[in-house]
Amino acid sequence: MKRTLRIALLLSFACAAVATFSNVAQAQKVDIGFALSGMDAPGISVSSTSDHNPVSLTGGAYLGINGDVLFYHNMGIGAEINWRASQASNVNVTGATYRPLFWNINYVYSPKLMSHVYGELVGGIGSLSTRYYCGTSCYDPYTGTNYVSSNHFDGDFGGGIKLYATKGLFIRPEVRVYVVNNNTDFSSNHNIRYGVTLGYTFR
């Protein structure tokens, strides 16, 4: 969890750096948000006819941090990180647990639909990093971590609707589809995250 927080802080600093650059580039808007999501994926039955492990990514609450900079005609770039809030049981190893973490960098298009309502379409690349916790058997005294990671490249696409409660504060229902390369850790190479972001727009 400590490393997850470090990654989240790194993402925050990256967004701040992008925001600074955006001022130079005369950006129109900078969004920062916090997300709460669920996950849906094919069930474990699909693993019976493939080399995938009988573990589905379905279930669990996901927390996230995201941000974007729109600098040209409602177009820009964004970054997001979403991780499972609690560790899940690993059916392959008794007593072991795991935590999936998705991070992505996206192209963002956010046109105005009507007063106080903006659409949002995104697409990009990133990684699914699954952390398998193994207690003292893999404890690293130098980093203080007690897990090993399995990383797979992914592509993502999706969208949402930004609803502004005030000039800057918004809530954004959203959906993301992740296609994960060679994701043999779980029952399928694809899954869907659905949730909501509470955010603020700096203009």
pLDDT digits (tens, 9 = 90+) for 100-158: 999 999 999 999 999 999 999 999 999 999 988 876 666 666 766 777 888 999 999 99
Residue 72: pLDDT over 80:
yes
According to DSSP, the β-strands at 169-180 and 97-109 are unpaired
Of residues 182 and 10, the one with the higher pLDDT is 182
Give ∠ CA 54-59-61 in degrees, rounded to 5.
140
Of residues 191 and 7, the one with the higher pLDDT is 191
| Both tokens assigned to 193 | 């995250």
**How high is the pLDDT of residue 25?**
45
**43 falls in which pLDDT band (50, 70, 90)?**
confident
Residue 174: pLDDT over 90:
yes
Residue 177: pLDDT over 80:
yes
Q: Of the segments 16-20, 39-43, 174-178, which one has the largest average pLDDT value?
A: 174-178
What lies within 8 Å, CB to CB, of 124 at 6+ separation is 78, 104, 105, 106, 107, 155, 156, 157
2-202 has which CATH code? Answer: 2.40.160.20
| Average pLDDT value for the chain | 84
- The position carrying tokens 């009988």 is 54
Quote helix, strand, coil % in the chain, to nearest 5.
Answer: 15, 55, 30
Cα distance between residue 125 and residue 80, in whole Å: 11
For residue range 184-193, what is the model confidence (pLDDT) as tens digits?
Answer: 888 888 999 9
Lowest mean pLDDT of 8-22, 43-57, 79-93, 96-110, name the range: 8-22
**How high is the pLDDT of residue 122?**
98
Lowest mean pLDDT of 6-20, 55-69, 164-178, name the range: 6-20
Domain ranges of the chain: 2-202
Residue 76 phi/psi, 5-degree rounding, is -175, -160
| Both tokens assigned to 105 | 């960098």
**How high is the pLDDT of residue 109?**
97
- The position carrying tokens 């927390």 is 63
